[in-house]
Amino acid sequence: MAKKSIYLDNSATTRVADEVVEAMLPYFTEEYGNPSSLHEFGRNAKAAIDNARMTIADSISANPEEIFFTSGGTESDNIAVFGVAKAFGKGRIITTKIEHPAIKNTVKELENEGFDVVRLDVDKEGFINLEQLEKAITDNTILVSIIHANNEIGTIQDIDKIGHLVKSKNIDAYFHVDAVQSYTKIPIDVDAAKVDLLSVASHKIHGPKGVGALYVREGTRLSTLQLGGSQEKNRRAGTENVPGIVGFSKAVEINMADFYKHTEKMTQLRDKLITNIECKIPDVILNGPKRDKRNPNNVNFSFKYVEGESILLHLDLEGIAVSTGSACSSNSLKPSHVLEAIGLPIDVSHGSIRFTLSRYTAEEEIDKVIEILPGIIEKLRTLSPLTQKSDVI
């Protein structure tokens, strides 16, 4: 009998909810019109997009006219950062040393083009220093881009404080938030937090891949990057992915309907896993903060004296799927820039594993990991040349 697989890589992607698939199906075979067409098929498709826009706007306390659909979080981040940079032509961009590659590499490209870039330091738990941010904001600052919940270590930045600080120092500087990992897991109010641009993605919340959204506050200067038709109010040319947008909207609806129930469940399972790993396995380091300052679904540990890839493969043999960090960097042999930024030594960072949960994660799955993991670590440490003999259990 085959082992039942346990999926704990939900920050990479999630399973699509059954209700989402059901909601999407008619838009492949029945309501398949182009939303730009004036006939009934087109009108029905456009109505579906308009309804989805309202659902996503409501979830972050925005107006529907401020929501623009994209192909995912990476495109949303690119439109936000490149769009502001192109609109201004020059100026300072402030970000952090622990951004997702969609921001990290975009900002690097702008730095190569002559933009002044400031990368904020973080402490050992991944939090920025607000005083450093305040000093970095100048009259020529055009954009501050901060990740809300870090994709590797789960650190939640206080975007309310950051947004108010940005606007108090320079009312004309825009504040962009990468909320791809936090969306529908942490409450977001773009107006209260003074957010001008915010990126979200469908496949992180049990929606389909290949669709996301960008919130753009009304009046924000943002140049168009993709030329073509007039779709999405000329923000993003190209025929809209109607089934994907419908599915995204349904996923948002599901997650927001029982927001506190499903986040509380993930939080309890997250903390159970953290507590048991710390109790049962010596020489481990929890990367990122504990409790309410950590994304509800995120657990990231460094296991001394062993390689993360070896842990991953041994867990995979047991039918347990995890990751060694960001899925976007999984083919790189370089140490995680996030773990480097929080001061983790390179040899320790190479022994890091990320477990990420979802609304479908069951307690018995967490129990299975707690049962299996200590033996895997003990076995690998016994074989590892990195382990001091006195350290072997």
Catalytic residue IDs: 328
Helices (H) and strands (E) in the chain, counts: 13, 12
Task: Give backbone dihedrals phi and psi of 103, rounded to 5 degrees, phi first.
Answer: -95, -45
Strand order in the sheet with 352-356: 284-286, 298-303, 352-356
> Residues 6 or more apart from 327 whose CB is under 8 A from it?
9, 11, 12, 13
Q: What is the DSSP letter of 201?
A: E
> Max alpha carbon distance in the chain (Å)?
76
**Distance of CA 46 to CAs 32, 34, 43, 226, 251, Å?**
11, 8, 5, 21, 19
C-alpha torsion 356→128→349→359, nearest 10: 0
For 211-276, give the DSSP string: -EEEEE-TT------S-SS-GGGGTS-S---HHHHHHHHHHHHHHHHTHHHHHHHHHHHHHHHHHH
Q: Which two tokens stand for residue 256?
A: 């927001």
Tell me if 224 sits within 8 A of 235, measured CB to CB: yes
**Distance of CA 277 to CAs 11, 215, 281, 346, 368, Å?**
20, 38, 6, 21, 12
C-alpha 330/C-alpha 309 separation (Å) is 10
Task: Give backbone dihedrals phi and psi of 269, rounded to 5 degrees, phi first.
Answer: -70, -40
